Amino acid sequence: MDRAIVCGGGGFIGSALVKALLAHGVETCAVVRPGFFSGPESFRLRGLDAPIIECDLRDIRELPERLPWRSADVFYQLAWEGLSGEKMLDYALQVQNVTWMMDAVVTAAQMGCGRFVGAGSISQDELKTPEGRAYQGDRHRIFRCAAQMCELMGPGVAAERGIDFIWPIISNVYGEGELTPRLITTLVRKLLRGEEMPLSGGTQSYDFIYLSDAAEAFYLIGEKGRTGRRYNIASGHVRRLREYLQEARDVIAPGTELLLGARPSGGVPLTAESFDIEALREDTGFCARVPFAEGIRRTAGWIKNE
Provide the β-strand partners of residue 240: 205
In-domain check, residue 230: no
In-domain check, residue 254: yes
Does residue 154 share a domain with residue 22? yes
AA identity, residue 98: V
In-domain check, residue 229: no
Residue range 283-302: mean pLDDT, rounded = 97
d(CA 6, CA 24): 15
pLDDT tens readout for residues 133-161: 666 666 778 899 999 999 999 999 999 99
pLDDT at 286: 98
For residues 179-188, one letter each, b for 16 or more C-beta atoms within 10 angstroms of the residue's C-beta and e for the rest, the string is eeeebbbebb
pLDDT at 269: 82
pLDDT at 270: 87
Sheet holding 232-233, edge to edge: 120-121, 169-170, 232-233
Report the alpha-carbon angle 186-145-12, nearest 5. 35
Q: How far is CA 13 from its chain centroid?
A: 6
- Residue, of 70 and 298, whose pLDDT is higher: 298
In-domain check, residue 249: yes
Asked if residues 35 and 12 have their Cβ atoms less than 8 Å apart, the reply is no
Does residue 109 share a domain with residue 187? no
Share of the chain above pLDDT 70, in %: 97
Does residue 111 share a domain with residue 254? no
Residue range 59-70: mean pLDDT, rounded = 92
Does residue 157 share a domain with residue 255? no
pLDDT at 136: 66
pLDDT tens readout for residues 77-123: 999 998 888 888 899 999 999 999 999 999 999 999 999 999 999 98
In-domain check, residue 189: yes
d(CA 238, CA 106): 36
Q: How confident is the model at residue 70 (pLDDT cuts 50, 70, 90)?
A: confident
Residue range 230-243: mean pLDDT, rounded = 96
Does residue 190 share a domain with residue 104? no
Q: Smallest Cα–Cα separation from 129: which of 118, 138, 139?
A: 138
> What's the Cα-to-Cα distance from 98 to each of 17, 106, 192, rounded to whole Å?
22, 13, 39
Residue 74: pLDDT over 90 = yes
Does residue 180 share a domain with residue 157? no
pLDDT at 141: 85
CATH of the domain at 32: 3.40.50.720
Domain carrying residue 199:
176-206+239-271+291-304
In the chain, what is the straight-line distance between the N-terminal and C-terminal CA atoms, in Å?
34
Residue 170: pLDDT over 90 = yes
E strands, the chain, where? 3-7, 27-32, 52-54, 74-77, 115-117, 120-121, 164-166, 169-170, 172-174, 198-199, 205-206, 208-210, 232-233, 239-240, 259-260
- Residue, of 176 and 266, whose pLDDT is higher: 176
| Residue 93 CB coordination number (10 Å) | 16
